[in-house]
Amino acid sequence: MKVLVVGNGAREHAIAWQFARSKRNTGLFVAPGNAGTESFAMNLPEVSGEDSSAVIQACKKHEIDLVFVGPEVPLSNGLVDDLQVEGIPAVGPRKLAAQLESSKAFSKRFMEKYGIPTAKAEIVENEQDLRSIINGIDSKVVLKKSGLAAGKGVFESENKEALLEFGIPALEDGPLLVEEFLSGYEVSVFALTDGVSYKLLPPCTDYKKAGDGNTGLNTGGMGAICPVPWIEPGGMDAIQEQLVEPTFHGFTQEGFDYRGVVYFGVMMTQDGPKLLEYNVRFGDPEAQVLLPLIENDFCNLAEAMVEQNLDQLDLRLSDKTALCVVVASPGYPESYKKDLPVSLPKINQQQLIFHASTYKANETVYTKGGRCFSAVGLGRELLEARSTAYPAAAGITFPGAWFRHDIGDRIFGTV
């Protein structure tokens, strides 16, 4: 099977890495790819996932059998729709369903329509309404940009001036959600679906804040663990019954024919699980801890998703724990430096390093983004995974490289 993976981040590196391990792999391409995927696949640096015609031409040129779309922007632009018109099988939802991520207003209405527990929210489209709502609050609220924001379109505060300072400029990009603040802890739950049936993957937790102790600005994610050892007994059953099942019922009712990955951003509250948001693809950095735990041949898994026979496949998962530490560029998540030369460490069989938007010149790897690498450690339990991941992260060196030092620390009672 010849496969094209669309994207250039650590998530896409992890997806391509899984396809590379398949016994059915007869050709693996990544568009545009990075310096990490270059070591085992053919990068197509001239092909952007946001250009459907270029992706389709690449598929025809290289006789691609299946496309796996990694990032959200091509999905929200309708890349899968365009591929289907050409008869090219693809893992990912069509544009209609991709609105579950590209429009938080759309997804909030979907949750309410199908009785899915979620935070109370008001959708605001102008400054006057925003000021009216903010002036009336007496506790912390959450502001969320309705559109795509790369994990940085969320602001929480009880300070009215700060909320308006974030919210008024945000309205220039589209509607804004003013949402109640939920207390508890977050869990990332992913399902694979073929539009008829689904398979749940082990729960993850990602660390969104830039600083240790969950301080600082929101980021795209500074680390993750899988599975999550502190979920209460019955927690996953409650998530499946109250959030997952109604969601897939809604998909059927809406005619989404969703063949891809569904992310449920869940807050575990004293009143049970509540859905914060949907994503329509693997998360980053969650993919980097989830994918190494999948033991199925990934070509078989992807093929089952597009051919709608996922229920006939037995999902096999490792009993190990995975922990990811993201190594970032100086200045991230604000203005950051690029084109920094990198030195990479030698790693053992329990360590993985996934690149994010890197490139190679004269045999030297250079950074190109804000979150540059994901160092992953595998272990029998969380402590072992942690002690495996951090040496790999520390071994990735470039000027100003930094990472959080407390990923997985909740087991010690500190996060």
Averages of pLDDT over each 10 residues, the chain, 415 residues: 98 98 97 98 97 98 98 97 98 97 92 95 88 86 83 81 89 87 94 97 95 91 96 94 98 97 96 96 98 98 98 97 98 96 97 96 96 98 97 98 93 48
For residues 144 and 76, membership in a common domain is answered with no
Structure confidence at residue 413 (pLDDT): 47
Domain that holds residue 336: 320-415
For residues 73 and 138, membership in a common domain is answered with no
- Alpha carbons 377 and 353: distance in angstroms, whole number: 9
Structure confidence at residue 152 (pLDDT): 65
Exposure of 335 in the CB half-sphere (CA atoms within 13 A): 0
Q: Residue 127 is part of a domain; what is its CATH number? A: 3.30.1490.20
The reply to whether 353 falls in a domain is: yes
Going from the C-alpha of 70 to that of each of 4, 8, 254, the distances in angstroms are 10, 9, 24
Structure confidence at residue 275 (pLDDT): 97
Cβ-based neighbours of 200, under 8 Å, separated by 6 or more: 189, 190, 191, 236, 240, 244
Q: Of the residues 180, 205, 225, which one is the last residue of a structural domain? A: 180
The reply to whether 165 falls in a domain is: yes
Q: Find out whether 212 and 405 touch, Cβ atoms under 8 Å.
A: yes
Q: What angle do CA 334, 340, 343 make, to 5 degrees?
A: 125
For residues 325 and 412, membership in a common domain is answered with yes
* Relative orientation angle of helices 127-135 and 160-170, to the nearest 10 degrees: 160
The reply to whether 207 falls in a domain is: no
For residues 340 and 400, membership in a common domain is answered with yes
- Alpha carbons 233 and 215: distance in angstroms, whole number: 29
Q: Of the residues 180, 200, 228, which one is the last residue of a structural domain? A: 180
Structure confidence at residue 138 (pLDDT): 82
The reply to whether 213 falls in a domain is: no
- Alpha carbons 293 and 308: distance in angstroms, whole number: 23
For residues 324 and 415, membership in a common domain is answered with yes
The reply to whether 276 falls in a domain is: no
Structure confidence at residue 139 (pLDDT): 84
Within 86-138, residue ranges assigned H as helices are 95-102, 104-113, 127-135
For residues 87 and 126, membership in a common domain is answered with no
Beta-bridge partners for 243: none
The reply to whether 329 falls in a domain is: yes
The reply to whether 172 falls in a domain is: yes
H/E element holding 66? Answer: strand 66-69
Q: Find out whether 287 and 253 touch, Cβ atoms under 8 Å.
A: no
Structure confidence at residue 150 (pLDDT): 66
Reduced to 3 states, what is the DSSP secondary structure of residue 206? Answer: strand
Structure confidence at residue 208 (pLDDT): 92
For residues 325 and 410, membership in a common domain is answered with yes
Q: Residue 328 is part of a domain; what is its CATH number? A: 3.90.600.10
Reduced to 3 states, what is the DSSP secondary structure of residue 53? Answer: helix
Structure confidence at residue 414 (pLDDT): 45
- Alpha carbons 90 and 307: distance in angstroms, whole number: 10
The structural domain count of the chain equals 3
Q: Of the residues 139, 155, 180, which one is the last residue of a structural domain? A: 180
The reply to whether 77 falls in a domain is: yes
Question: What is the CA 408 to chain-centroid distance, rounded?
Answer: 18
For residues 81 and 132, membership in a common domain is answered with no
Structure tokens at 328: 């970032």
Structure confidence at residue 367 (pLDDT): 98
Beta-bridge partners for 269: 272
- Alpha carbons 223 and 285: distance in angstroms, whole number: 6
Structure confidence at residue 151 (pLDDT): 63
Q: Residue 50 is part of a domain; what is its CATH number? A: 3.40.50.20
For residues 344 and 412, membership in a common domain is answered with yes
